[in-house]
């Protein structure tokens, strides 16, 4: 225990230095801004900022880059709530319930709640990083492709019910997403699939381009030609508009905690990320809810769980990174690159070899998250004011930001065509009321399912029973089965009931 306290002290002495505080603040501010701006996400921002950190002390550089990463998760929900445009690809799910809340005039409340969710989710995961990083990382190593497949299957099953409206349209859109995910390089053979000879498609469509097209560009196109006014009339905002009532707090806290747990679990598994975390958290919440019909209409639970989950996932992604040297997701992989540039090779010895850096970084997470909380709450008033900007100024600016965001990922103009094409597709989908979220779901989970299924088959030499032989995999398959059961059972029951009822009157008639 005293060693633990000494470590915390060591971390604080690093993270509280003037330089570290300054760069932490810089990082979280930049993170908030890129999070708020649609299209420019953490990955693009960190890739752009990385070369600038070559001249900084490694710990300071990491504190700043990590700040951009988790700061973006705070900002990401702002545009989702206010404009129905995801600020980052991973906050697309926040549109589902956040935007309806804003339409009901509860934008300040929704923004305040997401700031709290984000802080709770982050804090939960930071505690895990501090106390149990090596333990959790060891558990994550037990996950082979077999287990990954079963987890992803659970995600797909759980999330397949997450949209409102026709289940057949939703299913069709999941399949459409999976088909989109087939474009790219076949992992097992290295063959280019469905790229039509276009080298830029050899890595498939980018998640940012797909999400920003379907959600962002499509939303803007749908609003073009409407009255030339501003998105929503905003009157003077009072502080108490932000604060949830007692009953609203009650509605929030459980989903926030569940979202934090799911997010931490998903984040600690290398190769996943905040997108999957928020999808799964949303799906779980909808399943557990007593009144799932509220989801998609401005449910605070549907807002809270994914927001807590994406922040928890981002912080938990540091668990495998710092204790094993294996990046939790694509953005952390770039952070790891930054460490190597600075002469620190992340590996299993990092915590012991670089205690000042490890604990300094962890303590900076606390400081950064506190800064974000205090940065974001006063900013709510400012963001809400964004709604009074007229469409004719707001939308061209957003389109520009989206183009810059997708371009800067790989400095490739082709990606701009991709995002615009997905904008057209998304617009058509709206016109015929096909939901976009299931597309994203199929697009994210489909390729992972395939990759892990095929690798599991490769390693087991084609033995399908491998999924049942491994206990962790078996558990996840059983949970998936339970989910399926809970989806069909009520339907089945009501069908039976209605059949009995239909039979009953006919009996009477007889």
Partner 1 sequence: MKTIFSKGLVSAGLALAIGAASMFASPANAVAADSYPDKPITIVVPFPPGGSTDLLARKIGEALSSSLGQPVVVENRGGAGGTVGANYVAKSDPDGYTLLMGVTGSNAISAALRDDLPYSPVTDFDPVSIVISSPLVLVVREDSDFKSVQDVIAYAKANPEYFTHGTPGVGTSMHMTGELFGLESGTKLLHVPYKGSAAALQDLLGGQINAMFGDILVTSEYVKSGDLRPLAVTGTKEHFLLKGVPTIAEAGIDGFAAFSWQGVFAPAGTPTAVLDKLYTAVSAALETDALKEVFAQRGFLVEGMNPADSKAFIASEVDKWTKVVEAAGLKK
Is residue 227 within the footprint of partner 1 (CB under 8 A)? no
In terms of Cα–Cα distance, which of 363, 366, 336 is closest to 350? 336
Residue with tokens 């989109």, as numbered in its chain: 180
What distance in Å separates the CA atoms of residue 411 and residue 421, rounded to the nearest whole number? Answer: 18
Report the distance separating Cα 39 and Cα 33, nearest Å.
11
Min separation Cβ 29 and partner 1, Å = 21
Binding residues for partner 1 restricted to 203-222, rule: CB under 8 A: 203
**CA 151/CA 338 separation, integer angstroms:** 30
Query: Is 458 among the residues that bind partner 1 (CB under 8 A)?
Result: yes
Q: Does 192 bind partner 1 (CB under 8 A)?
A: yes
Contact by Cβ (8 Å): 303, 294: no
Pattern 434-453, partner 1, x by CB under 8 A = -----------------x--
Based on CB atoms, which residue is closest to partner 1, 228 or 411? 411
Q: Residue 153 contacts by C-beta under 8 Å, 6 or more apart in sequence?
A: 449, 476, 477, 480
Going residue by residue from 244 to 273, which x/- string records binding to partner 1, judged by CB under 8 A?
--------------------------xx--
Unique residue bearing structure tokens 């617009």: 427
Of the candidate residues 58, 292, 337, 381, the single one contacting partner 1 (CB under 8 A) = 337
What SS3 class is residue 408? Answer: helix
Residue of the chain from 16, 26, 187, 230 that contacts partner 1 (CB under 8 A): 187
Report the SS3 class of residue 369: helix
Do residues 212 and 406 make contact, with C-beta atoms less than 8 angstroms apart? yes
333 belongs to the binding site for partner 1 (CB under 8 A)? yes
Closest approach, Cβ 302 to partner 1, in A, equals: 32
246-268 vs 107-141: helix axis angle to the nearest 10? Answer: 30
Per rule CB under 8 A, count of chain residues that contact partner 1: 50
Nearest to 366, CA basis, from 355, 377, 374: 374
Segment contacting partner 1 by CB under 8 A, of 9-17, 33-41, 200-208, 390-398 = 200-208
The span of 8-16, 152-160, 249-257, 343-351 binding partner 1 (CB under 8 A) equals 343-351
Q: State yes or no: residue 411 binds partner 1 (CB under 8 A).
A: yes
- At which residue do the structure tokens 């965001």 appear? 405
CA separation, residue 122 to residues 112, 115, 259, 415 (Å):
15, 11, 11, 32
Nearest Cα to 112, choosing from 124, 125, 100, 98?
98
The yes or no reply on residue 66 touching partner 1 (CB under 8 A) is no
Residue range at the interface with partner 1 (CB under 8 A); choices 91-99, 302-310, 321-329, 363-371: 321-329
Single residue of 50, 56, 164, 421 touching partner 1 by CB under 8 A: 50
Min dist. Cβ of residue 326 to partner 1 (A): 5
Of positions 6, 135, 243, 340, contacts partner 1 by CB under 8 A = 340
Q: Which is nearer to partner 1, 53 or 73 (CB)?
A: 53
Concatenated DSSP letters of 314-365 = HHHTHHHHHHHS--SSHHHHHHHHHHHHTT---STTHHHH-HHHHHHHHHHH
Note whether 189 binds partner 1 by CB under 8 A. yes
Q: Which two tokens stand for residue 368?
A: 């950064």
Q: Which stretch binds partner 1 (CB under 8 A): 22-30, 334-342, 421-429, 489-497?
A: 334-342
For residue 196, state whether it binds partner 1 (rule: CB under 8 A). Answer: no
| Pair of tokens at residue 209 | 């381009």
471 lies in the binding site for partner 1 (CB under 8 A): no
Residue 213 CA to residue 89 CA, distance in Å, equals 10
Among 60, 73, 145, 313, binds partner 1 (CB under 8 A): 145
Position 51 contacts partner 1 (CB under 8 A): yes
Is residue 142 close enough to count as binding partner 1 by CB under 8 A? yes
Residue of 17, 185, 223, 289 that binds partner 1 (CB under 8 A): 185
Among 336, 361, 394, 466, binds partner 1 (CB under 8 A): 336
Strand partners of residue 313: none
Assigned token pair, 379: 């900013």
Using the rule CB under 8 A, give the single segment among 47-55, 121-129, 356-364, 488-496 that binds partner 1.
Answer: 47-55
Q: Which is nearer to partner 1, 143 or 401 (CB)?
A: 143
If one asks whether residue 47 binds partner 1 (CB under 8 A), the answer comes out as yes
State the alpha helices, DSSP H only, in 142-293: 145-159, 167-182, 207-211, 218-223, 246-268, 274-288
| Among 57, 200, 241, 248, contact with partner 1 (rule: CB under 8 A) | 200
* Exposure string for 386-416, b = 16+ CB within 10 A, e = fewer: bbeeebeebbeebbebbbebbbbbeeeeebb
Scanning residues 154 to 183, which ones bind partner 1 (CB under 8 A)?
Answer: none
**Least distance to partner 1, CB of residue 467, Å:** 14
Q: Which of 190, 225, 233, 236 binds partner 1 (CB under 8 A)?
A: 190
Helix (H, G, I), strand (E, B), or coil: what is residue 231?
A: coil
Residue 57 binding partner 1, by CB under 8 A: no
74 binds partner 1 (CB under 8 A): no
| Residues near partner 1, by CB under 8 A | 47, 50-51, 54, 141-145, 185, 187-192, 197, 199-200, 202-203, 270-271, 320, 324-327, 333-338, 340-341, 343, 345-349, 410-412, 451, 455, 458-459, 461
């Amino acid at each position: 225990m005293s060693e633990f306290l000494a470590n915390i002290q060591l971390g604080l002495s690093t993270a509280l230095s003037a330089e570290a505080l300054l760069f932490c603040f810089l990082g979280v501010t930049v993170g908030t801004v890129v999070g708020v701006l649609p299209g420019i996400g953490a990955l693009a921002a960190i890739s752009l900022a990385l070369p600038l950190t070559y001249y900084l002390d490694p710990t300071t550089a990491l504190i700043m880059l990590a700040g951009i990463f988790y700061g973006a998760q705070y900002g990401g929900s702002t545009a989702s709530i206010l404009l129905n445009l995801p600020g980052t690809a991973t906050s697309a799910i926040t549109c589902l319930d956040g935007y309806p809340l804003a339409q009901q005039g509860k934008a300040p409340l929704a923004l305040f709640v997401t700031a709290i969710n984000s802080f709770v989710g982050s804090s939960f995961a930071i505690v895990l990083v501090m106390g149990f990083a090596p333990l959790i990382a060891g558990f994550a190593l037990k996950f082979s492709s077999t287990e990954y497949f079963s987890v992803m299957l659970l995600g797909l099953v759980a999330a397949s019910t997450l949209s409102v409206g026709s289940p057949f349209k939703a299913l069709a859109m999941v399949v459409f997403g999976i088909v989109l995910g087939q474009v790219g390089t076949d992992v097992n053979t290295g063959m280019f699939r469905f790229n039509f000879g276009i080298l830029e498609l050899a890595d498939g469509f980018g998640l940012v381009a797909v999400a920003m097209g379907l959600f962002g560009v499509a939303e803007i196109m749908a609003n073009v030609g409407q009255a030339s006014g501003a998105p929503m009339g905003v009157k003077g905002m009072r502080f108490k508009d932000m604060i949830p009532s007692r009953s609203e707090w009650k509605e929030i806290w459980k989903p926030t905690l569940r979202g934090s747990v799911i997010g931490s679990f998903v984040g600690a598994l290398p190769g996943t990320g905040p997108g999957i975390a928020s999808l799964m958290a949303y799906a779980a919440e909808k399943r557990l809810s007593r009144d799932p019909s509220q989801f998609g209409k401005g449910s605070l639970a549907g807002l809270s769980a994914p927001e807590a989950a994406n922040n928890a996932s981002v912080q938990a992604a540091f668990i495998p990174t710092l204790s094993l040297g294996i990046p939790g997701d694509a953005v952390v992989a770039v952070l790891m690159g930054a460490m190597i540039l600075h002469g620190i090779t992340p590996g299993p010895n990092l915590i012991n070899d670089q205690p000042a850096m490890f604990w300094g970084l962890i303590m900076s997470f606390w400081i950064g998250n506190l800064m974000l909380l205090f940065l974001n709450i006063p900013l709510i008033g400012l963001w809400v004011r964004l709604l009074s900007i007229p469409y004719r100024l707001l939308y061209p600016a957003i389109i520009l930001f989206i183009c810059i965001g997708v371009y800067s990922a790989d400095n490739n103009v082709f990606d701009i065509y991709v995002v615009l094409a997905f904008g057209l597709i998304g617009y058509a989908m709206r016109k015929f009321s096909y939901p976009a979220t299931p597309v994203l779901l199929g697009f994210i989970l489909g390729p992972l399912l395939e990759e892990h299924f095929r690798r599991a088959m490769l390693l087991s030499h084609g033995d399908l029973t491998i999924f049942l032989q491994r206990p962790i995999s078996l558990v996840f398959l059983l949970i998936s089965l339970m989910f399926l059961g809970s989806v069909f059972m009520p339907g089945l029951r009501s069908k039976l009931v209605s059949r009995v009822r239909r039979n009953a009157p006919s009996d009477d008639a007889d």
